[in-house]
A and B are shown apart, each in its own frame.
Chain A
Amino acid sequence: MMLERVREVLDGREAVARSWKEQGKKVVGWICPYVPEELIHAAGMLPFRVMGAPVTIVKGDAYLYPNICTFNRVVLELALGGRYDFLDGIVTANVCDHIRRLYDAWHFFVETPFKLILSLPHKVSENAVAFFRDELSRLKSDLEKLAGVEISDAALKNSIRTYNRARELLRRIYGLRREEEAPISGAEALEVVKAGMFLPKEEYVALLEEIFESLKRRDERYEGSARVMIAGSDLDDPGFVKLIEDSGGLVVADDLCTGSRYFWEDVDVSGDPLEALARRYLSPVLCARMHPYEAHIEHLIKMAEDFNVDGIIFEALKFCDIYGGEYPLLREWLKEKGLDIPVLMLDREYVLSGVEQLKTRIQAFIESLS
């Protein structure tokens, strides 16, 4: 089956990193998609997205406040438990207060050789682009030192092309979900996107080409009593999507940083590559944290309309300032524009819990759509 390799990667993502390291090469972890992976790739290292796992939080609670979202507490739990010891570096950005606190704790208590937090402006302006370009140039020279190589503009552009190719393929795969009966379920789509955050990009591009071709020919089709879009906080659990699809909905689109937001926009390959990266990554599409906030909501609604969705399931991790805050703005926006797209708000913990209550709410929402 075409998703075999994807599942293999997801079941043992550390194994991917370890086999990379056996070739004498380095792995750099990234938290949050504001970190330009192209720079890590151009230095000949493997970018590896730091995610959580279903564990009980013990140590994470000792170092972080209980009102830090469970994504960050779970990640710290794993890091303190040695799960990320294979990383040669860790890079993140000050996207939200919760990630900053995770970085603080990681900085002081986890012995990763290289650690950096990028300073990320909140506004998209020419000054902000210039500032963020400086930040990226600092990251570039740090990565050069770590890898012991120099990143030439040509190498960086080459990495950007590889990444753009993966993005294009993912957008094409998403395009198939516009059809009435999609050849790929929402849970499967999330798996496909997620695998790309761990695999070496060249291998991933080849895999995506294969997946895209076999999806076009796939006999198995998915349909649901309602077309649903998921939006909100960091959601990397295909099991959550499956919960929606088992309740009769078909997830056909998303506005997630583990989904469409991760690949929706390309990086320009003409001109100065660092500036191009700064422009692409200072994007309101990547996260609702950017200002003015309307840009992200507009993107979200365009996505919903593009994929002809019947309703939106908006999930926010408990205590998530950004998405807890975006929800009422979204409701207000829909009301003002007179758009009749029903939205269900769900409070979530990073590790799937309270499944029965969730099921009832999701099923009731889908019943009301169909």
Chain B
Amino acid sequence: MIVAGVDIGSLTVKAVILRDNEVVATSTLITGDDAATAAKTAINEALKSLAERGMSVTLDSLDHIVATGVGRKEVTFAHEEKTDVRCDAVGARHIFPSVRTVVDIGAESCKVIRLSKKGRVEDFTANDKCASGTGMFLDVLAKVIGVGVEKLGELSLKAKKPAKISSMCTVFAESEVISYIHRKVPIENIIAGVHESIANRIFGMMNRVGVEKDIALVGGVARNVGVVKALEAKVGESILVPEGPQLIGALGAALIAAEACGTA
């Protein structure tokens, strides 16, 4: 029984292939302008790595495909589409069965999901019309600061005194960052300030939904250790981060696909 979950985000598309409930291949690609093609390419990419290991499977022979993410409705070849809220919940619970609160920070979205003891979605909230507290916010500000977005985490850990970013708005925050640069504030302090501002925004959303332990952080931004630390400091609890946090939505989709085939 081989199934796939594919998560079409605003920036990247992720695919996870499961065989008998074991993850056998994954892939991550840039979404580009055609969600359906991107989803197909991502799955094929993952299948290619399977073929290299002697398991020959084609897209058509997959038993079940579930699509999720913002572009999920475009993936016409998928058997089902499920929201990212549901898939995040299923994916995170699979890795951390004790999780009750899932925070997902993606490229253009951030959401907080509260789960019941049994893993049912009890409440959730998501950003609507604003990029603050998302990966795009980090991306814009990393460009201004002049460091690669992947270096932000490590750099911020060296900060002695985080600079305060008071604007919620990405555009205004950008001008605040520029003024700090002009005032020769050490960049690690600025970066730590940016992380704090994300943590503040997310913490506000968490309070809205209500926080239950354990807490997991998923989505691409979870790879930034600075954001994780800043959020832990805000919440006053440790936060679980899975390996490959950007794949959790796709993993959840794949698990739902497996369940549909009756193997879970």
Contact = CB atoms under 8 A, between A and B. Distances in A.
A364 B128 contact: no
B120 interface: yes
Contacts of A363: 83
Given A364-B121, A364-B124, A367-B121, A354 B129 contact: yes
Contacts of B121: 364, 367-368
A360 B104 CA distance: 14
Contact of B83 (A342, A347, A354, A364): A364
Nearest to B86: A367
Contacts of A347: 128
B196 interface: no
B129 A364 contact: no
B141 interface: no
A23 interface: no
Interface of A is mostly: helix
Interface residues of A, number: 11
A368 to B, nearest CB: 4
A361 B122 CA distance: 13
Q: Which of A342, A356, A357, A364 has the most CB of B within 10 A?
A: A364
Contacts of B122: 342, 368
27 contacts: A342-B122, A354-B129, A356-B70, A357-B109, A357-B126, A357-B127, A357-B128, A357-B129, A360-B70, A360-B83, A360-B85, A360-B126, A361-B124, A361-B126, A363-B83, A364-B83, A364-B84, A364-B85, A364-B121, A364-B124, A367-B82, A367-B86, A368-B85, A368-B86, A368-B120, A368-B121, A368-B122
A227 B130 CA distance: 31
Interface in A315-370: 342, 347, 354, 356-357, 360-361, 363-364, 367-368
Bin chain B's interface residue count: 10 to 19
Given A356-B70, A360-B83, A364-B83, 16 more contacts: A347-B128, A354-B129, A357-B109, A357-B127, A357-B128, A360-B84, A360-B85, A360-B126, A361-B124, A363-B83, A364-B85, A364-B86, A364-B121, A367-B82, A367-B121, A368-B86
A342 B70 CA distance: 24
Interface string B101-139: 000000001000000000011111011110000000000
A367 B83 contact: yes
Contacts of A367: 82-83, 85-86, 121
A220 B126 CA distance: 36
A367 B109 CA distance: 19
Interface string A165-193: 00000000000000000000000000000
Interface in A278-324: none
B217 to A, nearest CB: 19
B249 to A, nearest CB: 12
Interface in B231-254: none
Q: Which of B83, B84, B120 has the most CB of A within 10 A?
A: B83
Interface string B166-182: 00000000000000000
Contacts of B85: 360-361, 364, 367-368
B109 to A, nearest CB: 8
A354 B128 contact: yes
Contacts of B86: 364, 367-368
Contacts of B124: 361, 364
A332 to B, nearest CB: 13
